Structure 1
Amino acid sequence: MRKESAPSRLGLRGRTALVFAVAFLVLSGGVLAGINVLTALGVSARSGASITADVSGTSTGAGTGVATVGVDEIARQQLLLWSLIGLLAATVLAAAVGWVVAGRMLRPVRMVTEAAGRISAEDLHERLDHAGPDDELKRLADTFDALLARLEIAFDSQRRFVANASHELRTPLAIQRTAIQVGLADPAPENVAATAEQLLAANRRTERLLSGLLALATGQRGLERTDAVDLDAVVTDQVEVRRARAAQEHTELRVRVDPLVVSGDAVLLGQLVGNLLDNALEYSTKPGVVEVDLDPRRLRIGNTGAVIDPDAISRLFEPFVRLDGDRHSAGAHAGLGLSIVRSIADAHGFTVKAQAPATGGLVVELALT
Structure 2
Amino acid sequence: MQIRYKIAIQFTIIVAIILLIFSAIVYLRAENQQQKNFYDRLQARSNTTARLLVDVQEFTPRLLKLIDRNSSLRLADEEVFVFNFKNELLYSNVEHQANYISNSLLEKIRQEGKVTFNSDERHVVGVLFAGKFDRFVVVASATDKIGIAQKENLIKTLTIGLISGILITIVLGIFFASQALKPIQSINEEISRITAHNLKKRLDEGNGKDEIAELSVNFNDMLQRLEMAFLQQKQFVSQASHELRTPLAALKTEVQVGLEEEHSMEEYQQMLRNILNDTERLIQLSNGLLQLAKTIDEGEKFVFEVLRTEEILLNAQKAVQNSHQHYKIIFGFEMIPEEDNLTLINGNEVLLENLFVNLLENACKYSSNQQANILLSFDKKYCIIKIKDKGIGISTSDLPYIFNPFYRARNTNNIKGFGIGLSVAKHIIELHNGIIQVKSKLNLGTEFIVKIPHC
| TM interval, short-chain normalised | 0.7 to 0.9
C-alpha distance after superposition, 1:268-323 (max 9, x if no partner) = 32221111012222333x35864321224211113334564545434211211112
Specify which of 342, 347, 357 is matched with residue 274 of structure 1: 357
Q: Does 1:231 align with 2:309?
A: yes
Matches within 5 A, 1:1-369: 10-44=1-35, 45-46=37-38, 47=41, 70-71=145-146, 73-132=148-207, 134-189=209-264, 190-220=266-296, 221-222=298-299, 224-239=302-317, 255-257=331-333, 260-284=343-367, 286=368, 290-296=372-378, 297-306=383-392, 308-310=394-396, 312-324=398-410, 332-356=416-440, 361-369=445-453
Instruction: Report SS of the residue matched to 1:317.
Output: coil
Instruction: Give the Cα separation in 1 of the matches to 2:262 and 2:302.
Output: 51
State whether residues 129 and 145 of structure 1, in contact with CA within 8 Å, keep that contact through their aligned partners in structure 2.
no
Structure 1 length normalisation: TM-score?
Answer: 0.78
What residue in structure 2 maps to residue 3 of structure 1? none
Contact 1:229 1:266 in 2 (8 A): yes
Matched residues in 2 for 1:358 and 1:334: separation? 20
SS at match of 1:256: strand
Q: 2-side partners of 1:247 and 1:188: how far apart?
A: 37
Give, in angstroms, the shift of residue 205 of structure 1: 0.9
Check the 8 A contact 2:194/2:201 in 1, yes or no: yes
Question: For 2:405 and 2:324, how far apart are their aligned partners in 1?
Answer: 26
TM superposition shift of 1:337 = 0.8
Counting matched residue pairs gives 340
Q: Deviations over 1:141-193 (max 9, x none)?
A: 22121111111111211121112112212211100111222233343224323
Q: 1:322 to 1:80 in 2, by over 3 A?
A: same
Kindly name which structure, 1 or 2, has the bigger radius of gyration based on alpha carbons: 2
Partner of 1:58: none
5+ residue gaps in structure 2? Answer: 43-71, 76-142, 338-342
Q: Is the 8 A contact 2:319 2:357 kept in 1?
A: no
One-letter amino acid matched to 1:217: A
Residue type of the alignment partner of 1:268: L
Cα deviation for residue 71 of structure 1 reads 4.8
Higher relative contact order by CA 8 Å / sep ≥ 6: 1 or 2?
1
Q: CA deviation at 1:137?
A: 2.9
Letter in 2 for 1:82: T
SS across alignment from 2:410: coil
Cα deviations by residue, 1:319-368 (Å, 9 ceiling, x for unpaired): 111122866x6x62111110121222233343323334588543222111
Query: Counterpart of 1:106 in 2: which secondary structure?
Result: helix
- 3-state DSSP of counterpart to 1:320: coil
> Is contact 2:258–2:268 with CA below 8 Å preserved after alignment?
yes
After superposition, the Cα gap between the structure-2 partners of 1:71 and 1:300, relative to the gap in structure 1 and judged at 3 Å, is same
- Unaligned regions of 5+ residues in structure 1, if any? 1-9, 53-67
Shift of the alpha carbon at 1:43? 3.2
- Give secondary structure in 1 for the equivalent of 2:205: coil
Structure 1 contact 253–291 (Cα < 8 Å) conserved: yes
Q: Alpha-carbon deviation of 1:28?
A: 1.8
Q: For residue 69 of structure 1, report the CA deviation from its aligned partner.
A: 9.5
Rate the CA distance shift 1:235–1:31 in 2: closer, same or farther, 3 A.
closer
**Distance in 2 between residues matched to 1:363 and 1:109, nearest whole Å:** 51
| Of 211-220 and 116-125, the range deviating more from structure 2 | 116-125
Note if contact 2:392-2:442 (Cα within 8 Å) is conserved in structure 1. no
- Counterpart contact for 1:310–1:355, Cα < 8 Å: no
RMSD (CA atoms): 3.5
Task: Return the alpha-carbon distance in structure 2 between the equivalents of residues 282 and 358 of structure 1.
Answer: 15
1:131 alignment partner, SS class: coil
**AA partner of residue 344 (structure 1):** I
Structure 2 CA distance, aligned partners of 1:91 and 1:50? Answer: 43
Q: How many percent of aligned residue pairs carry the same amino acid? A: 26
Deviation at 1:248, TM superposition (A): 6.1
